[in-house]
A = this chain, B = another copy of it.
Amino acid sequence: MSADPAFSGEVRRAAEWVRSHLAAAGLQAELVETGGPPIVYAESAPVPGAPIALVYGHYDVQPPDPLDEWVTPPFEPTIRDGKIFARGATDDKGQMLTHVASIASWLETSGRLPLQVKLLIEGEEEVGSEHLGNFLRANADRLACDCVVISDTSQFAPGVPAITYGLRGIAYFELRLSGPKQDLHSGVFGGGVANPANALAKMLGALIDEQGRVTIPGFYDDVLPLSERERAEFAALPFDEGAFRRQLGVDSLAGEAGFTTIERRWARPTLDINGLTSGYQGQGAKTVLPARASAKFSCRLVPNQDPQRVAAALRRRLEELLPAGIRLELVEHHGAPGIIMPLESPYLQAAAAAVEKGFGRRPVFIREGGSIPVVNTFAAVLDADVLLLGWGQNDDNPHSPNEKFSLDDYHRGIRASAALWQQLAAITEPLK
């Protein structure tokens, strides 16, 4: 809801809820004002000689529309079949709470944690974390840590826990085209003046070719190719395309030619339209030639694409495609590059042991198609390894109606988190 200023009061209420629960667990916890939704910050007592872990999460969520597709209301959490249904159940309120719960358990049972844990829970993740970067840079000393722990991803499949070592980035745009100064009668004027909706379709349609490849010149120049080892390991994962099709309700999958579905989703860049608006959208027929047409669309980026280079190349391409009689405005909403973590990191190996304790099975190492833009910022500003320990499932419907989170995964996540603090504390020679 952080996308809509009308809900800023509700968003703040969520922040206060998180802070009060951290304080109740025994941590020093505060709200930090940023100019946007506040950041919740908390920390436990320092433990000399042990590494420091920083937990990052977010209390903000995506808008819930289309509301009429929810079985139970998005903001009235409801348990059905061992799952809790609510906006934010998996992205990211439910997953984030596993760490709050494990810390509370340690403090309740042992009186102290085996290492210092810092928690940073923000409220702008779904809209690009506008103020977080400044906060991290301004508080780099206070936030100093050896690794960052984030649970905002999914397991590979039910019973197949995973650690995510790669994420796609994003570059989100809004293209606004305008033509005549007002809506016109399509009979009187049609054919004699450029139609912004026609232009929008033609321009967007030209951005992807018949092979599913993005046609923006230079778009693929910086793409880090998949290694043969990665392609082999991805191919060995227990991925059932039929089940995936049925999950999505489609009779065939599609995407960039020459790549598997997993490769397309994890390691290849995309261009997806997120929304279209123009002209008459009501019931029946209105013979209008619309004055304006706009599209929200976004590129999922992979290492080592740069969002700003992509934006600049896109702008050049759109200006080339712009027909006479149409004016263009391109809004750059937010961007973040993709990232890959080193598989040999001792923190990643400690995390793998903790996940095995919590879930009863050694995790697979996977990538993820979604973006967690702040991961890059953490890696860069805090010089820390980032551990993406996802407790969710792929059908948890993040960003969609009927978002959910399994209570079993919630409890396994808490156990893995509790084990993580012990595994990390056993690293006797922190890297820095």
* Interface residues of A, Cβ cutoff 8 Å to B: 3-5, 62-63, 65-66, 69, 127-128, 154, 168, 170, 172, 174, 179-195, 197-198, 200-206, 208, 244, 248-256, 261-262, 264-265, 268-290, 293, 295-296, 298, 300, 323-325, 333-334, 368-371, 394, 397-402
Most buried by B among A168, A190, A293: A190
A191 to B368 Cα, complex, angstroms:
12
Would A198 and B204 be within 8 Å (CB), given that A275-B278, A296-B280 are in contact? yes
B198 near A251 with CB under 8 A, answer no
B285 near A189 with CB under 8 A, answer no
A293 to B254 Cα, complex, angstroms:
17
Most buried by B among A198, A282, A300, A371: A198
The smallest C-beta distance from A173 to any residue of chain B, in angstroms, reads: 9
- Known A197-B273, A276-B279; further 8 A-B contacts with Cβ < 8 A: A181-B248, A189-B248, A192-B262, A194-B254, A201-B204, A273-B290, A274-B280, A275-B290
Q: Nearest residue in B to A168 (C-beta to C-beta)?
A: B187
Indicate how many identical chains form the complex.
Answer: 2
Q: Collect the chain B residues with CB atoms within 8 Å of residue A261's CB.
A: 192
Would A272 and B289 be within 8 Å (CB), given that A192-B253, A202-B208 are in contact? yes
- Main DSSP-derived SS at the A contact region: loop
A422 to B65 Cα, complex, angstroms:
63
The smallest C-beta distance from A10 to any residue of chain B, in angstroms, reads: 15
Q: Nearest residue in B to A180 (C-beta to C-beta)?
A: B248
Most buried by B among A4, A5, A272: A272
Among candidates B3, B182, B187, B288, residue contacting A371 with C-beta atoms closer than 8 Å:
B187
Q: Collect the chain B residues with CB atoms within 8 Å of residue A290's CB.
A: 273-275
Would A277 and B274 be within 8 Å (CB), given that A265-B188, A285-B296, A300-B186 are in contact? no
Most buried by B among A5, A66, A127: A66
A270 to B289 Cα, complex, angstroms:
11
B189 near A265 with CB under 8 A, answer yes
A273 to B47 Cα, complex, angstroms:
65
A298 near B293 with CB under 8 A, answer no
Q: Collect the chain B residues with CB atoms within 8 Å of residue A268's CB.
A: 191
The smallest C-beta distance from A430 to any residue of chain B, in angstroms, reads: 32
The smallest C-beta distance from A16 to any residue of chain B, in angstroms, reads: 23
Would A183 and B400 be within 8 Å (CB), given that A285-B3, A369-B188, A370-B188 are in contact? yes
A56 to B131 Cα, complex, angstroms:
64
B275 near A3 with CB under 8 A, answer no
A369 near B190 with CB under 8 A, answer yes
A62 near B286 with CB under 8 A, answer yes
Among candidates B127, B248, B252, B323, residue contacting A285 with C-beta atoms closer than 8 Å:
B127
Q: Collect the chain B residues with CB atoms within 8 Å of residue A272's CB.
A: 186, 190-191, 195, 197-198, 289
Would A274 and B264 be within 8 Å (CB), given that A190-B369, A204-B201, A285-B127 are in contact? no
Q: Nearest residue in B to A196 (C-beta to C-beta)?
A: B273
Among candidates B65, B66, B264, residue contacting A191 with C-beta atoms closer than 8 Å:
B264
Q: Collect the chain B residues with CB atoms within 8 Å of residue A254's CB.
A: 192-194, 323-325
B265 near A286 with CB under 8 A, answer no
A205 to B323 Cα, complex, angstroms:
13
Would A333 and B284 be within 8 Å (CB), given that A192-B264, A250-B194, A394-B188 are in contact? yes
Q: Collect the chain B residues with CB atoms within 8 Å of residue A293's CB.
A: 273, 276
Q: Collect the chain B residues with CB atoms within 8 Å of residue A252's CB.
A: 194, 324-325
Q: Nearest residue in B to A212 (C-beta to C-beta)?
A: B191
B273 near A195 with CB under 8 A, answer yes
B300 near A270 with CB under 8 A, answer no
B186 near A3 with CB under 8 A, answer no
Would A398 and B185 be within 8 Å (CB), given that A273-B197, A282-B4, A369-B191 are in contact? yes
Q: Collect the chain B residues with CB atoms within 8 Å of residue A400's CB.
A: 182-185, 288
B275 near A197 with CB under 8 A, answer yes
A220 to B69 Cα, complex, angstroms:
43
The 6 closest A-B pairs by CB, nearest first: A205-B205, A181-B249, A187-B370, A3-B284, A197-B273, A275-B279
